[in-house]
Amino acid sequence: MQAVPAPGRGASTPPQTAHEVDPAPAATRDRPLDVLYVEDNPVDVRLMEAMLARPECGKVSLRSAPDGPQGLLMAQHKRPDLMLLDMNLPGLSGLELLLRMRTQPALADVRCVAVSARAMRQDIDTALAAGFDDYVTKPFALQRLAQMIQRYRTMAGGSG
């Protein structure tokens, strides 16, 4: 996995899956980082769940949506701290979802990470120029994922 930060970034209940891990001792426990992963491949969702369950990632609450429209609905219903958006979603791509979010005041500043198997510099640059905060390539590498999650946890004001 490659994480590339972007420069200078400061209804009804939809169905969802949730996975929460709490490796921190009670004395240092803060609220989990709320991550919404919009991914149509269930194997990739299960892999992300397993990786975010590792102690290196700290306390994470992972929700997932199988497509862009449902991901948008879930984000509108409960604003996440961080969104991981697959770039090749059916119907509404990760880029289109990001652009829709950026027009909605309540979601315009949600941190968003593009997730893709495409690792060409042009793909990464295009995503970052469109407004993604980071770009992560598949297959995921645990150490890089953990570093990225900890960075966004710090931005969200948590420590666990």
Return d(Cα 32, Cα 58) in angstroms, integer. Answer: 8
The reply to whether 47 falls in a domain is yes
Does the structure show a pLDDT above 90 at 57? yes
Element counts in the chain: helices (H) and strands (E): 5, 6
Q: In total, how many domains does the chain have?
A: 1
Return d(Cα 29, Cα 148) in angstroms, integer. Answer: 19
Confidence band for 160, pLDDT divided at 50, 70 and 90 = low
The reply to whether 7 falls in a domain is no
The reply to whether 12 falls in a domain is no
Does the structure show a pLDDT above 60 at 77? yes
Structure tokens of 68?
């862009």
Q: Which amino acid is at 36?
A: L
What is the reported pLDDT for 27?
A: 27
The reply to whether 5 falls in a domain is no
Does the structure show a pLDDT above 60 at 135? yes
Domain that residue 35 falls in: 17-156
Give the mean model confidence (pLDDT) for residues 57-76.
96
The reply to whether 8 falls in a domain is no
- CATH code where residue 35 lies: 3.40.50.2300
Nearest to 37 by CA among 16, 65, 69, 17: 65
Q: Which one is predicted more confidently, 105 or 17? A: 105
Does the structure show a pLDDT above 80 at 114? yes
Count other C-beta atoms under 10 Å from residue 155's C-beta: 15
User: What is the full DSSP assignment across 74-114?
Assistant: HHHHS--SEEEEETT-SSS-HHHHHHHHHTSTTTTT-EEEE
**Going by DSSP bridges, is the β-strand pair 60-65/33-38 parallel, antiparallel, or unpaired?**
parallel
How high is the mean pLDDT of the chain?
Answer: 84
